[in-house]
Amino acid sequence: MLERRQIQRVVDLALDEDAPFGDLTSQTLVPPTAVARAELVAREPGVLAGAEVFEIAMTTLDPTVKVTLEAADGEAFGRGSVLARVEGPARSVLQAERVALNLVQRMSGIATLTRTYVEAVAGTAARVVDTRKTTPGLRALERHAVRCGGGHNHRYSLSDAVMAKDNHLAVIPDVTAALRQARIDLPHTTHIEVEVDRLEQIDAVLESGAAHTIMLDNFSLDDLRAGVAKIAGRALVEASGGVTLDTIADIARTGVDVISVGALTHSVRALDLGLDMSVS
């Protein structure tokens, strides 16, 4: 789950980046007694992610700013929906506005895109997961947004699991022996995944008896089906590489267990949300 400390770290860095010496415009032009009332409004339909992030971003600079959330993470909304209401000192609201919007717009964009991928594989057993192709420093937020869209998370970091990819295998002289030794050396709780890019590589991985998941990278549909048949339940089967909305349904129907989609985070468009404000 996304923890407040993770959110606060990102928000603090973003606020400091955006106004290292304060908001010169608001401090110069906006009266210190002015009060702002604002609504977070959807300019297009989508799925919300980052409600708490928005609230923390709006209130960190000034705890007297009040945020009322009108929608929850994972909730679908239509164009014109009011997702949150904000009230407080105008200078504080204006200084926090862009950071709060940037984060909630990106997270909601990820959640919305993820929902479309998840809906595309409905009726199959395939699980849609993200990858480590996240924005540096924003991984916790982006991974949370994927879950808000109904997707699942892959390993969080390099420290979470063994995942032998093509560049690892290129420098391992005996893959079967290396994987067997890994099972001996690692705790029994450690997950081992191995990426292959050709059908003939599967046998060496299976022979080790060590892999929990075998990733079939950039396989054709026919080869995916053949790979699923060859593995025959002895490991989870993950499909990866160039997955799009046009191809994911066909990939899911090959019988794979997991489909990893880097585009959920590395190619997403921020959702169009706006903060409509009045000042008194």
143 is an active site residue: no
Ligand-binding annotation for 262, yes or no, is yes
165 is an active site residue: yes
Residue whose C-alpha is closest to residue 86's, from 62, 108, 107: 62
Contacts of 72 (CB under 8 A, 6+ apart): 48, 51
Give residue for tokens 């964009």: 109
Q: Which of 52, 62, 217, 272 is catalytic?
A: 217
Q: Which of 85, 98, 127, 253 is catalytic?
A: 98
Ligand-binding annotation for 98, yes or no, is yes
Q: Which of 85, 127, 165, 183 is catalytic?
A: 165
Ligand-binding annotation for 195, yes or no, is yes
Torsion of CA 261, 264, 268, 274, to 10 degrees: 170
Ligand-binding annotation for 242, yes or no, is yes
Ligand-binding annotation for 203, yes or no, is no
66 is an active site residue: no
79 is an active site residue: no
Ligand-binding annotation for 133, yes or no, is yes
Q: Which of 85, 133, 234, 253 is catalytic?
A: 133
174 is an active site residue: no
Secondary structure (3-state) at 72: coil
CA-to-CA separations, 12 to 4, 52, 96, 179, in angstroms, rounded: 12, 14, 11, 43
Q: Residues 111, 114, 117, CA angle at the centre, nearest 5°?
A: 155
Cα atoms in the Cβ-side hemisphere of radius 13 Å centred on 53: 30
CA-to-CA separations, 207 to 39, 192, 238, in angstroms, rounded: 59, 14, 18
Distance CA 7, CA 84 (A): 18
Say if CB 189 and CB 222 are below 8 A apart.
Answer: no
Q: Phi first, then psi: what are they for 67, rounded to 5°?
A: -120, 125
Ligand-binding annotation for 241, yes or no, is yes
Bind-site residues: 98, 131-133, 155, 165, 195, 217, 240-242, 261-263
Bind-site residues for substrate: 98, 131-133, 155, 165, 195, 217, 240-242, 261-263
List the catalytic residues.
98, 133, 165, 195, 217
